[in-house]
């Protein structure tokens, strides 16, 4: 049976990016993303539905997101769903389903704050996955949509 894992989303950030670095120095940022859906229910009344997601971005792309994006920024995300499990500080098993970004397009570009530097590289393609990412995800206690 064939498998295909591709996610395409457009929405707004729910909070400022959370940039951090792995012990080996690889940049990683979590983006809170709200994707809205407007529809009419059976009675004809217009309704709004919001889906909140965590998008994980790596390497140079993570640094660019941290520099240019802020709460409310509109973005277009291409990536894949990624599931991971970890134990929290209390010893409870946690399960997280998040979006691993492969490409992010800024729909409105302006520096997030005057204190952040201007980026010299605007290529936002995500490089191939590395073993650093695998190790980080195995040991990370992260934020996101948690179940379990």
Q: Is residue 143 part of a domain?
A: no
Per run of 10 residues, the mean pLDDT along the chain (length 148 residues) is: 95 96 96 95 93 96 96 97 94 95 88 48 47 52 45
Domain that holds residue 62: 7-133
- pTM for this model (two decimals): 0.71
> For position 108, what pLDDT does the model report?
82
Which CATH number goes with the domain that contains 66? Answer: 2.40.50.140
- How many angstroms separate the CA atoms of 148 and 146, rounded? 7
Number of domains in the chain: 1
């Amino acid at each position: 049976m064939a498998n295909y894992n591709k996610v395409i989303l457009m929405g707004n950030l729910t909070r400022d990016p959370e940039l951090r670095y792995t012990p080996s120095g690889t940049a990683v940022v979590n983006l809170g993303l709200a994707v809205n859906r407007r529809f009419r229910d059976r009675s004809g009344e217009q309704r709004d539905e919001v889906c909140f997601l965590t998008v994980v971005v790596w390497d140079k792309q993570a640094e660019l997101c941290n520099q240019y994006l802020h709460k409310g920024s509109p973005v277009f995300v291409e990536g894949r769903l990624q599931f991971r499990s970890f134990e929290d500080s209390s010893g409870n098993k946690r399960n997280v389903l998040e979006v691993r970004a492969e490409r992010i397009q800024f729909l409105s570009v302006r520096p997030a704050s005057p204190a952040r530097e201007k980026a010299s590289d605007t290529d936002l393609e995500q490089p191939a996955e590395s073993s650093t990412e695998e190790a980080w995800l195995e040991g990370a206690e992260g934020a996101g949509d948690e179940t379990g």
